A and B are shown apart, each in its own frame.
Chain A
Amino acid sequence: MTAPCLEVRGLNVWLRSGERDLHLVRDVSFTVRSGERFGLIGESGCGKTTTLMALMGLLSDRASVAGDVLVDGVDILGDGERDVRAHRWRDIAVVFQSAMNALNPVQTVGRQIAEAAGRMVGGSEVPVRRRVSDVLELVGLRAEVAERYPHELSGGMRQRVAIAMAVVCEPRVLLADEPTTALDVIVQAQVLTALERACAELGAALVLVSHDMGVIGEVCDRAAVMYAGEVVETAEIDTLYHDPAHPYTQLLIAASPSLAHRDRELVSIAGTPPAAGVAVPGCGFVARCPRHFGPCASSAPHVWPVGSGMQRVRCHLYDSASKVRP
């Protein structure tokens, strides 16, 4: 087993809002090995994007962050803004949801990729240009695309340009925030393939954030499910799909359409998630949970191992001292 490439330990994010602090991300920890593809699943407001922004050091100054983020054992969150900047893009790069907003409309994509590459290759024109066409090739685009402007490209091509920009410095970790949400299934397949190929080529760790169980399931090796700012379950992808432990994961899978189980009636989870960042005494999911019992409303659940593998779940049902067995 390779050493962890990205290690997130006890990450917390607060956002100052008026007189209160919203605790948007609570105690999130996970590790991703080199070449591994890790998924972060959750619905809007669950804190998955905030987590990703915190890893990149891109949160607004109204937010405060605590915890450790290590890339190859080096803390990149540690010593203030400047340090984060120095590491960014060589250690850790990101692909955003909307490539149109992430690209400069008045520069050719080639120049923008070269600009990102400049920090690594440096100096002369030719190696940079070669590097640009190499990464475009990697994401399945012809080298001529470098001469085009973002508005001349389709949504899927733009997203692949964004991936090229992210991998041009050969980062150790690639983050992707809902990279295919606005895209159609066929384009989505193209973009996911580009993402996978880029990561495989670099041996980078991939963290894919999505609300779509199907996308995570198809791409990732392992995934964490987030709810109300916390990771509620972490498991290998097959386990997560076929043997989910947390009631939320179970419902989320039952709510996701699937080609293989298309005769199954989809479920919807009653109620709505709690307001983001507002502290509750017990489990954040208790109000919507069909299996809640005694301690759920009053005490916050701990993380428990389930089964023999790597599955971890934050739920009272799996408390080793609990009388209730799932």
Chain B
Amino acid sequence: MTKTPALEIDGLTVRYGAKQVVDGLSMTVRGGELVAVVGESGCGKTSTALASVGLVRPAAGTVRVAGADLVQARGRGRRGILRSIQLICQDPYEALDPRCTVGEVVAEPLLVHRVGGSAPARRALVIEALARAGIPNAETYLDRYPHELSGGQLQRVAIAAAIVLHPLVLIADEPVSMLDVSLRAGVLRLFADLRDAGLAILMITHDLVTAAQYADRVAVMYAGRLVEEGSPEAVLRSPTHPYTRALLAAVPNPDRSRDVARPILPGEPPDLLDLPSGCRFRPRCPLAQESCAQTDPTLETLTPERVADAHRVACIRAFELDHAPPGDVPLTRAGSSVEVPVAQDGGRPD
């Protein structure tokens, strides 16, 4: 583990006006690793993605791509770093310029970074990238316009444009949430293949189950902070943070008994301009106790055996919850057989 990680985010803080949407977030993604960041909208996960590719200027912190800091870099150095880290957006219908053909979209990064030389050489690179993105007969797509393609094809074109420069890192912001269910697995499989080919991938998503299926590591965000991080197995099989448990319990489950009321977490995420003292999840937490208001919990390692796969949780009761017998914890571990106190008037404002 001495090799420099492909992507190293350290103490990233993003502010919009007085709102601090990302608060001192640190995260590492190595080559050949797919990390999923999960959380509700407004938790700061998209701002993390935008800051990672330089679209938003962080108020503090560093974003290192293969050791080079994007935040401090200027001019040519910055462009060089941007070449190695590419963004894939949520909405493929919006992300591609409607007036550019597929060939032009995929060739644009080559032109921007002056790679590929002659037009025929560029064309070959474009076709190769499209093929790697899983578009068969790529030549026949070059002159088509985005509106002629389906959502799944568009997302593959966007991925082709992102990998045509052979970057080190891909940041994917909800890459399948706009796609039809029947096409999602194919696109996710493509990300897994790119990961296997050595890319470092940071995938933003709100779908914990899908994330767990394809990711090597899952990080759960709440109100601008990481609250739990670990292998998908650890996070899904033994979720420790009460928020992660609530997330899992809220995943729709057709086999859920109709006689038991659906477990719902009441309330809304905190107002970022008026954060509660101590733990940010405290006002909604079914396990909150007095000490939660005093201490602002930081990520603590639960399983210190292997540092890279460590299951880390930001909750002062983490160890107690991790070691407690299942029956003693109000929110049960796995999703399918939940027995959770039902909040009758769920979702009332604080």
Q: Do chains A and B touch in the complex (CB under 8 A)?
A: yes
- A-side interface residues toward B, CB under 8 Å? 43-44, 137, 140-142, 145, 154-157, 160, 184-190, 192-193, 211-218, 237, 241, 251-252, 255-260, 262, 265-269, 272
> CB distance A255 to B346 under 8 Å?
no
Which of B185, B336, B349 is A268 in contact with, Cβ under 8 Å? B185
Could you mark each residue 207-221 of chain B with 1 if its beta carbon is under 8 Å from any beta carbon of chain A, else 0? 111101100000000
Which of A154, A215, A216 is B268 in contact with, Cβ under 8 Å? A154
B330 interface hit (Cβ, 8 Å): no
| Given A212-B181, A255-B185, residue A218 in contact with residue B254 (CB < 8 A) | yes
| Given A214-B252, A257-B209, residue A266 in contact with residue B185 (CB < 8 A) | yes
A218: B residues at CB distance < 8 A: 252-254, 256, 262
A268: B residues at CB distance < 8 A: 182-187, 189
| Given A142-B348, A157-B347, A190-B346, residue A269 in contact with residue B264 (CB < 8 A) | no
Q: How many B residues are at the interface, by size bracket?
A: 35 or more
Which of B195-203, B243-251, B314-322 forms contacts with chain A?
B243-251
Which of A44, A185, A212, A266 is B208 in contact with, Cβ under 8 Å? A185
B297 interface hit (Cβ, 8 Å): no
> CB distance B182 to A252 under 8 Å?
yes
| Secondary structure dominating the interface of A | helix
Can you show 9 pairs from A to B with CB atoms below 8 A apart? A44-B180, A185-B206, A185-B208, A185-B252, A189-B346, A212-B252, A214-B253, A216-B254, A259-B236
A211: B residues at CB distance < 8 A: 180-181
> CB distance B250 to A262 under 8 Å?
no
A161 and B187 alpha carbons, distance in the complex (Å): 36
Which of B152, B183, B188, B335 is A259 in contact with, Cβ under 8 Å? B335
| Given A266-B185, A272-B152, residue A189 in contact with residue B209 (CB < 8 A) | no
A174 and B116 alpha carbons, distance in the complex (Å): 58
Give the distance to chain B from A244, nearest Cβ to Cβ, in Å: 12
Give the distance to chain A from B203, nearest Cβ to Cβ, in Å: 14
B128 interface hit (Cβ, 8 Å): no
| Given A257-B213, A266-B188, residue A185 in contact with residue B250 (CB < 8 A) | yes
Known: A44-B151, A141-B345, A190-B264; 20 extra A-B contacts, CB below 8 A, are: A44-B180, A141-B347, A155-B41, A157-B347, A184-B41, A185-B40, A186-B246, A188-B250, A189-B346, A192-B262, A193-B262, A213-B254, A214-B252, A218-B254, A252-B181, A255-B185, A259-B251, A260-B255, A268-B183, A269-B182
